[in-house]
Structure 1
Amino acid sequence: MLPITVQAEEESGLCPVRAILVTVTGKWSSLILLALEDGPQRFSAIKRLIGDISQRVLTENLRALERDGYVRREVVPGSPIEVRYQLTPMGGDLLSRIIPLVTWATNHHAAVQAARNRYDADERVS
């Protein structure tokens, strides 16, 4: 089994699995990484690609991804100043591991939805 067990909440930050997954498995983080798959993007382009993300949430998630080394923020001088975000090599490596999950989700979405519907119907009967 993978090393995921900790004895106390204080130890959870020392677990490498938990320390990484807490950031990269969030809905927004994964979608931001996917939005950067084809190359550098401006903030507004990322927001447009994702659609239903607020400016505040996008900013917070981009900062967290940058802090962890998955995304690089580049300021391009000029008038107006342009800010672009792009994947770092580590971010690209992470994305290459997320894409199979995205493919799996796409292929199994209907089956998962059907299972949820069956479960919900059974729960109403019980």
Structure 2
Amino acid sequence: MPSGEPPVRDDDHDQPLRILIVEDDPRVRTALRAFLSEGGFEVVGDAATAAAALRMARERAPAVVLVDVLTAHGPDGIELLRALTELRIPAVAISIHGGVRGDALAAGAYSFLDKDSAPELLVATLREAAAHACR
């Protein structure tokens, strides 16, 4: 997304859309943070583990959480999706393994994207998930 894009707004509050990133690979986490921040999202945190992500979700009230479903650290992203659903925080699941799509959606993910999805699709899906939660 080019620099200078208008911030992605939370329609109810006219604020940048608050997002939490859950990704165990620090390079991918850093790249996602930079991409989404440049695109106008407010990244309220990033976490390498589901436990850290759940703590941040409770403390920082993101509008949406981007969850790498398969992490090298336990508990896994599927359990995190279930916990976020209980907290009524929408989540978009991502993975390089498409075989977990059904499990992620059953656990409460708003949507599932392959990690190689187009950046524009990621942005649109995050916006949709946050908007869906506001209804």
Query: Does TM, scored on the shorter chain, surpass 0.5?
Result: no
Q: Higher relative contact order at CA 8 Å, sep ≥6: structure 1 or structure 2?
A: 2
Which structure's CA Rg is the greater one? 1
Larger strand percent: 2
Tell me the TM-score range normalised by the shorter chain.
under 0.3
